[in-house]
Homo-oligomer: A and B are copies of this chain.
């Protein structure tokens, strides 16, 4: 069969398909856009990808992503962050979402995933022992469980809770209820039950 695209472009399309949710058509569209765009943009992206894994590391305390030259996350070392308040999240990028609210000044603890027996993620693959240690070392007063409102998120939260049993620390969980700007009629049943359970005095 005649070659429709040069090998270099076919290779790029294949390589782009590792991105989440990117199928053949999207990969083609991306490849064509990169091809049509300035060579500089493709080279910038190439450069950013080439050393990606060598350039990063994980904070020894919070397990947030940091530069490979650093040892601790600035979100931990910054003296303005309250080390006695720790928000427990599943993945490093969850920190971005919380930071974007600009209303949290505590520190983080990245578990490195959520309990998921099907995917082979058991209690031992999560950084829960490290959390326990940190609670003692940093005299943590409150731990906010900020895992998803999903089955995995809930069971992970419960695992953290049972592991911390007997440890003198306040455990809280992010509120569950109606998302802002969504009509009642579009909220699912579970969200509505949670919103009802967690109703507050007006």
Contacts and interface: CB of A to CB of B under 8 A. Distances in A.
A43 B39 CA distance: 18
Most buried by B among A56, A78, A81, A93: A93
A6 B92 contact: no
Interface stretch (A9-17, A138-146, A193-201): A9-17
A95 to B, nearest CB: 6
A50 B46 contact: yes
Interface in A20-71: 20, 28-30, 32-35, 37, 39, 41-56, 65-68, 70
Nearest to A10: B48
Contacts of A47: 15, 46
A75 interface: yes
Contacts of A49: 12, 15, 34, 42-43, 45-46, 49
A23 to B, nearest CB: 14
Given A16-B45, A18-B45, A45-B49, A32 B92 contact: yes
Q: Do most interface residues of chain A lie in helix, strand or loop, or is the interface mixed? A: helix
A9 B65 contact: yes
A180 interface: no
A52 B39 contact: yes
B99 A4 contact: yes
A19 interface: yes
Nearest to A80: B2
Given A65-B35, A93-B28, A48 B12 contact: yes
Given A4-B95, A6-B55, A33-B19, A11 B48 contact: yes
Nearest to A95: B4
A184 interface: no
Contact of A96 (B28, B33, B51): B28
Contacts of A78: 2
